[in-house]
């Protein structure tokens, strides 16, 4: 077992994910992908980090969706001045 496996540090549970920013969760997900692609992680650890990766992915999707809901497009007057906003995707 290579010494690199020690780099795959996992918390006892995944409760920390709910408190992560999008950037932190995405970084953690990228690290998991890198660890799995490296291919030298033991099977039981691979399964555990894959499961954590799924939770991180869902968290990132949720945060991204919430951010998209807040994004608005600016309405301009005929003179080109901002006069208000509309939802990005009007229903």
pLDDT tens per residue across span 11-56: 888 999 999 999 999 999 999 999 999 999 999 999 999 999 999 9
pTM given for the model:
0.69
Both tokens of 75, joined, read 């309405």
Number of CB atoms found within 10 A of residue 74's CB = 10
Both tokens of 61, joined, read 């999707």
Domain coordinates in residue numbering, the chain: 9-87
Output the pLDDT for position 5.
Answer: 44
Is 74 within 8 Å of 82 (Cβ atoms)? yes
Outline where the chain has alpha helix (H): 22-38, 43-70
pLDDT tens per residue across span 57-69: 999 999 999 887 7
Residues 70, 73: Cα–Cα separation, whole Å: 10
């Amino acid at each position: 077992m290579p010494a690199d496996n020690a780099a795959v540090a996992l918390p006892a549970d995944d409760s920390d994910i709910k408190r992560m920013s999008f950037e932190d969760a995405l970084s953690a997900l990228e690290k998991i992908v890198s660890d799995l692609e490296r291919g030298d992680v033991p099977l039981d650890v691979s399964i555990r980090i894959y499961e954590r990766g799924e939770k991180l992915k869902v968290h990132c999707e949720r945060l991204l969706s919430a951010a998209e809901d807040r994004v608005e497009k600016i309405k301009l007057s005929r003179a080109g001045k901002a006069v208000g906003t509309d939802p990005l995707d009007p229903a």
